[in-house]
Amino acid sequence: MFPEHRPRRLRRTETLRRMVRETSVSVSDLIYPIFIKEGRSIKEPISSMPSQFRYSPDMLSDHIKYISSLGIPAVLLFGIPKKKDPVGSQAHRKDGVVQQAIKRIKDINPDLIVITDVCLCEYTDHGHCGILDDKGEVQNDDTLDILSHIALSHAKAGSDMIAPSDMMDGRVGIIRDALDDSSFENIPIMSYTAKYASSFYGPFRDAAGSTPKYGDRKGYQMDPPNIREAILEAGFDIEEGADIIMVKPALPYLDVIRVLADEFEVPLCAYQVSGEYAMIKAAAASGWADEDSCVMETMTSIKRSGADMIITYFAPQVAGLLS
């Protein structure tokens, strides 16, 4: 016998399920990361990230048109320079690889929002996100100046939004001041606020050639067991002028997304990183999981946990599935 006071759940048809659904994923939630490699005529597959490529700026046309046709509103650019040095000087060159790519993309589709990653690790020969002292320690304060030069050079090239991912303390405020002083008050900052020292960045470092030559990033990226620290970091970033905050990676840190969504009023972005992408791709390639439905489930989970937007290498696939 059915318990007397237990209400029955609705027997759900697909139509009813849709009516009572609490979370939705839309193409306007998506940001697609692209790797740009300095040079000409390059379209190179990334072996640890099936279906993802490194493009030289001159090869972006078809790809950008395709992304635009899917209705994806924004891309996030990472640069891979020809030459690296200890201070990452290629990162703020006027005709650097990202600066060239921004202009190229704006020529192809001026309406596509171009977000640019600001960090040194792809540009330094040692692979760290800041400059080092003679003991090999990252110098937080000395790195800030270089970061603001990079941000400014991106803004001058036409970037719509600056995304610092280096995790140096104080970088949001320094970048905000540098942008404001050069009349870029309207360029927003999306800060990698809670960026954890994660093992899920492996394929990205392979793609960008940015694995540290020695040591790790634990000194400046966040420690995975910590969540109160994420709230502290978010408070600092917002005070310094961050317009959007971010949690990265996404799926192993859904609790962090939820806490920041509850605590703060600014828009919240989640980054489904390269290792999360590679994991689903590998399982699907082995026939162990259904790729499309796993991907959509992760999108739903990330939105349900409170993210307003998602950076994902699956963006074109998700856009296709939603249409």
Closer CB to ligand PBG, residue 7 or residue 153?
153
With the CA atoms of 34, 154, 222 and 261 taken in that order, what torsion angle do they form, in degrees rounded to the nearest 10?
A: -80
Query: Is there binding between residue 205 and ligand PBG (CB under 6 A)?
Result: yes
Instruction: Give the one residue of 100, 165, 298, 312 binding ligand PBG; rule: CB under 6 A.
Output: 165
Phi and psi based region of residue 129 (left: phi greater than 0; alpha: psi -120 to 50; beta: remaining): alpha
Does the active-site annotation cover 65? no
CA distances from 229 to 195, 196, 217, 256, 269 (A): 11, 11, 17, 10, 18
Q: Which is nearer to ligand PBG, 184 or 204 (CB)?
A: 204
Shortest Å distance, C-beta 186 to ligand PBG: 24
**CA–CA separation, 211 vs 8, rounded Å?**
55
Number of residues that bind ligand PBG (CB under 6 A): 11
Let me know if 195 is a catalytic residue.
yes
Piece of the chain touching ligand PBG by CB under 6 A; list 36-44, 54-62, 93-101, 199-207: 199-207
- CB of 25 within 8 A of CB of 295? no
Rounded to a whole number of angstroms, the minimum distance from the CB of residue 192 to ligand PBG is 7
Nearest 5 degrees, angle CA 206-CA 310-CA 273? 20
Instruction: Look up tokens 């891309």; give the residue.
Output: 75
Using CB under 6 A as the binding rule, whether residue 126 contacts ligand PBG is answered as no
Smallest gap, in angstroms, from Cβ of residue 12 to ligand PBG?
Answer: 36
Binding residues among 219-258 for ligand PBG as defined by CB under 6 A: none
Pick from 277, 257, 141, 137: which is nearest to 193 by CA?
257
Q: In this structure, how many other beta carbons lie within 10 angstroms of the beta carbon of residue 280?
A: 21
Nearer to ligand PBG, 84 or 217 (CB): 217
Burial code (b: 16+ CB inside 10 Å, e: under 16) for 136-157 equals: eebebeebbebbbbbbbbbbeb
Which residue is nearest to ligand PBG, using beta carbons?
204
Q: Which of 201, 220, 253, 314 binds ligand PBG (CB under 6 A)?
A: 201
* String of contacts with ligand PBG for each residue 256-295, x by CB under 6 A: -----------------xx---------------------
User: 37, 84, 195, 281: which is the annotated catalytic residue?
Assistant: 195
Tokens of residue 281, six digits: 């791709």
Among 46, 98, 118, 121, binds ligand PBG (CB under 6 A): 121
Q: What tokens were used for 75?
A: 């891309």
Q: Quick one: which of 25, 34, 46, 129 contacts ligand PBG (CB under 6 A)?
A: 129
What CA–CA distance (Å, rounded) separates 299 from 151?
30
Rule CB under 6 A: which residues touch ligand PBG? 117, 119, 121, 129, 165, 201, 204-205, 217, 273-274
Supply the residues annotated as catalytic.
195, 248
